[in-house]
Structure 1
Amino acid sequence: MSLRSKLSVLALSLSLAVPTLAAAQELKVGYVDYQRVLVEVADGKAAKNRLQKWVEGREKEISQEQQNLLKEKETLEKQASAMSEEVRAQKAADFQKKYLELMQKFEKSRAEIAERERKEMEPIIGKIDEVIAGIAKRENLGMVFEKRDSGLVYAMSQYDLTNEVIRSYNSSSAKPKDAPVAKDAPKK
């Protein structure tokens, strides 16, 4: 390739790159630490407290059943020598069945906790998204990234919108009555 051809290709490449670079310089971006927003907004705190109380009740119930099962096991072990082989086998099978039922209840409870958390947070997340969209429009931001899940490795703190999102969310939720609540949330 001649020097003239190389210069032509270089000039063409630069002419194509310059508008792209100019457009990139006009693009404004920001990022939000969504988890921090969820934990720090008033509605998020209230939802977490409601969820925590519900979880504690479930844990207490399962713990009580576990204690009862342990007592039953101790009693079974103490009385095993006085039982016939057939009775001992039947009691062991009954105990095993109760143990499996408790484990199923524990797993079901974990799934219920995840579902309940999703239901509690869903309306709050929707409102957070609206707040972020409002800030993005006001600040003329082309993109807003989620800090943790976006693959964002580094960003200067001047692009962090987290505190502004928290302030805007809380100021738009000045009345606690208007706080989003899951449809099946327990009444206070």
Structure 2
Amino acid sequence: MKVSSMKLFFALLLATVSTFAVSAQAQDLKIGYVNSERVLREAEPAKKAQAKLEAEFGKREKDLNDQNAALRAQAEKLDKDSPTLSEAEKTRRQRELVELDRDLQRKHREFQEDLTQRKNEELSSVAERANRAIKAIGDAEHYDIILQDQLVIYFSGRVDLTKKVIDALNAGK
């Protein structure tokens, strides 16, 4: 009986000491948080990448929109002229519209694929720079852990490093 009381005492003592040790370590742990969406939205390199994409794809997008408007106009004209057209002419124009629509959809898919690929290239470059800036801030300010928004449920504003990362990217670091 005395041995089991002694074991219980030591187990409780060990649990108490462990709790204090963990809380003491937790106080020394320095944690930061970065909102990567905000970085990719507000940092100058991200804005430049977006402007570059708009310049690169703007004309092509406008051409697609113009072609789409022309197709709609042709469809409306066919609807308007339909009562006066022969069956053969109506069928020919409908086939023509179907072909134009199919071609336009293919061009639109290709445009979206090209845009997505280039956007991923540009944003990955910005993300790499942001990760280097985050690491530099972490090293300089002795952070133990820096979390990004996809992994965080709650954070206090005092651990938010997003503005520092944006400033570092804007400064070209």
1:70-109 superposed matches below 5 A: 70-109=72-111
C-alpha separation in 1, matches of 2:171 and 2:56: 28
2:123 corresponds to: 121
> Does 2:29 correspond to 1:46?
no
1:178 corresponds to: none
C-alpha separation in 1, matches of 2:103 and 2:12: 73
Moved more, 33-42 or 74-83: 74-83
Kindly provide the amino acid, as one letter, of the partner of residue 128 in structure 2.
G
Amino-acid identity (%): 25
Give the TM-score taking structure 1 as reference length.
Answer: 0.78
Post-superposition CA distance 1:91-128 (Å, at most 9, x none): 21221121122223223322222221111122221111
C-alpha separation in 2, matches of 1:169 and 1:66: 39
C-alpha separation in 2, matches of 1:19 and 1:143: 19
C-alpha separation in 1, matches of 2:156 and 2:84: 74
For the 8 Å contact 2:71–2:101, the answer to whether it is kept is: yes
Give the TM-score taking structure 2 as reference length.
Answer: 0.83
Question: Gaps (5+ residues) in structure 1?
Answer: 174-188
Post-superposition CA distance 1:141-169 (Å, at most 9, x none): 111111x312x232221211112112222
Which has the higher Rg, Structure 1 or Structure 2? 2
Offset of 1:135 from its aligned partner? 0.8
C-alpha separation in 2, matches of 1:170 and 1:77: 55
Say which structure is richer in helix.
2
> Does 2:150 correspond to 1:164?
no
Question: Gaps (5+ residues) in structure 2?
Answer: none
For the 8 Å contact 2:134–2:165, the answer to whether it is kept is: yes
